[in-house]
Amino acid sequence: MALLGALLGFVYMSSFPAQAFGSQAEYKASLAEAAAAVEAAQVAAESGEPIKGKDAASAKGALPTLGPKPGSAHFIEGEVYSSRTWEAKRKQLSAAGAQSVAFSVGEMNAWMASKFRPGVVDSDDEEAANLLIVPGVPNLGIADQGEFYLNVPTSITAFGATGDFMIFARCALKGNQVKLRSVNVRSAKVPLPGILGARILGVLMQGFATSEEYQIISEAFARADTVKTVDNQFVFELR
């Protein structure tokens, strides 16, 4: 029964979209505004005075606690530069020799938007014959504490019904390895991110695994001493 309840809870939460923010600072500002609205609602309830001005609209939907609720999951959506400065850095990344290559998050997203094409995930599993997964163009967003978000809009068709899902992972960089902190399907958090979450992302990445761009990034990670986020950039220290 506990397993069934957890499964139903996951399905329920995955029906709610997660909220996108343009930066970690924007997310923190939203939290501060929500907390102020809750405080205003509590003060008004204790005093019996009506809430006026901007706080009235904010407090109307505010909850008296900061606990999770449908729609409270979030991710950082990185900007996409219109320039093509990423092209020279892409060449650097695949060039032999020790060097440091720094991509701003906007350059990395511009590269993916230009070169990464949505691909269908193939499966030889007969039980998956009625399942079609089409990952869209990935997007990266810088979080705090040296972490980042990998966001993959995904179309899933099962037994004739199609739905659009934002699947996103919060990741940390350690050396030249990516560690999964959490994985979400919309607002539903995937349990055991290092196992189940990694399996989900692995399936999505199959749609890009044969592309030249994916190979360049994979090989850069393999020959890097470290990959880290510094001042809204991804920095590859290549050997």
Domains of the chain and CATH, by start:
2-76 (no CATH), 86-238 (3.15.10)
User: What token pair was written down for 153?
Assistant: 């809009």
pLDDT of residue 28: 81
pLDDT of residue 67: 42
Residues found in the chain: 239
The residue among 143, 141, 138 whose CA lies nearest residue 167 is 138
pLDDT of residue 51: 56
User: What token pair was written down for 68?
Assistant: 């999770």
Per-residue CA distances from 56 to 32, 44, 50, 53, 165 (Å): 16, 10, 8, 6, 33
Our measurement of the distance from residue 63's CA atom to the centroid of its chain's CA atoms, rounded to an integer in Å, reads 26
What span, in angstroms and rounded, lies between the C-alpha atoms of 203 and 187? 20
pLDDT in tens, the chain (239 residues): 444 444 445 555 677 889 899 988 888 888 788 778 777 777 777 776 665 555 555 554 444 444 444 447 899 999 999 999 999 999 999 999 999 999 999 999 999 999 998 666 765 555 555 678 899 999 999 998 889 999 999 998 887 888 999 999 999 999 999 999 999 999 999 999 999 999 999 999 988 988 999 999 999 999 999 999 999 999 999 99
pLDDT of residue 217: 96
pLDDT of residue 124: 56
Could you tell me if 121 and 207 are in contact, meaning their C-beta atoms sit under 8 angstroms apart? yes
The residue among 72, 32, 62 whose CA lies nearest residue 188 is 72
What span, in angstroms and rounded, lies between the C-alpha atoms of 128 and 197? 19
- What single DSSP character describes residue 123? -
